[in-house]
Amino acid sequence: MKPTRPLALVTAFLVTGALSYGGVQLWSHYGTPPGVPASAPLTPAILAAIILATALAFRSRLKAQREAVRRTVEGEPAPPILPGQRPAKPVDPLQAARAVMFAKASSMVGAIVSGVYAGYAVYLLGNLDIDVYRSRAVVCGVTVLAGVALVAAALYLEYVLRVPPSGPEDGLPKNGNKTSSPPRSGSASVRKRPEGTYPVRRTGAGH
C-alpha cells in the first residue's frame, strides 16, 4: 500500500476550492448564498482527535513491541510487570492495515472539506461589511483549520504505521544475518555449493 502523496491532497484542496468559489458565485446570481452551519467544524475536529489518539496508541504499542524484541535478541531480561499493569499487546497486521486505509480516506476528506470552505471563505472576503457574511467567514475559517488538522492527524497515523523496523526490531541479530537451526538427526546429508544446497545421493557398492 503506497503512502498518501501530499501533491494529491494539495490538488484536491485547490480543485474543490475553485469549484466551491465558482459555485457560490453562480448561486449568488440567483439569490442569497447558502448558509454555513455553526457546527461545521465539529465533524473534522472530532475525526482529527480520534485519529490522533489512534496514532498515539499505535506508536506506544509499536514502541513496546520493538523494545521487547530487542531484549529478546540481546538476551536481556524482561522488566517485571507491576500490579495492575498489562503487558503490551502485539499489533495486529490486519488492524494496522485498516487503520492505514482509514487514515488515507480521512486525509482526502479533510483536504476536500478544507477546499470547499476555503473557496466559500474567499468569496465572503469581499462582503465582510455585512454581519451575516462576516460570521459565515469566521465559521468557514475555523472549518478550514479543522480540515487541515484532520489531514495532519491522518498523515501522522500513516507515518506511525509505515516506519520500518531496524535490525534488532525485525527479529534479526545486530549483524543482520538470520540464525539457522541445526540439522535434525536422521535427515539426508547435504553438500554446500555457492549456488545453494542439495542432497547427496547415496549409491550402492556395486554401482
Per-residue pLDDT of 39-54, as tens digits, reads: 999 999 999 999 999 9
User: How far is Cα 198 from Cα 188, in angstroms, rounded to an integer?
Assistant: 10
| pLDDT value of residue 130 | 83
- pLDDT category, 183, cuts 50, 70, 90? very low
| pLDDT value of residue 75 | 67
Whether residue 32 has pLDDT greater than 90: no
Where is pLDDT greater, at 97 or 189?
Answer: 97
User: How far is Cα 23 from Cα 89, in angstroms, rounded to an integer?
Assistant: 50
CA 104, 108, 109, 113 torsion-angle sign: positive
Residue 109, Cβ neighbours under 10 Å: how many? 18
User: How far is Cα 153 from Cα 159, in angstroms, rounded to an integer?
Assistant: 10
- DSSP three-state, residue 191: strand
| pLDDT value of residue 138 | 93
Whether residue 36 has pLDDT greater than 50: yes
Average pLDDT over residues 150-166: 83
What CA–CA distances, in Å, run from 81 to 38, 48, 90, 192, 203? 48, 33, 16, 46, 59
Asked if 36 and 139 count as a contact pair (C-beta separation under 8 A), the reply is yes
Please name the helix (run of DSSP H) or strand (run of DSSP E) that holds residue 71, with its range, or none. helix 42-74
Give the global pTM.
0.70
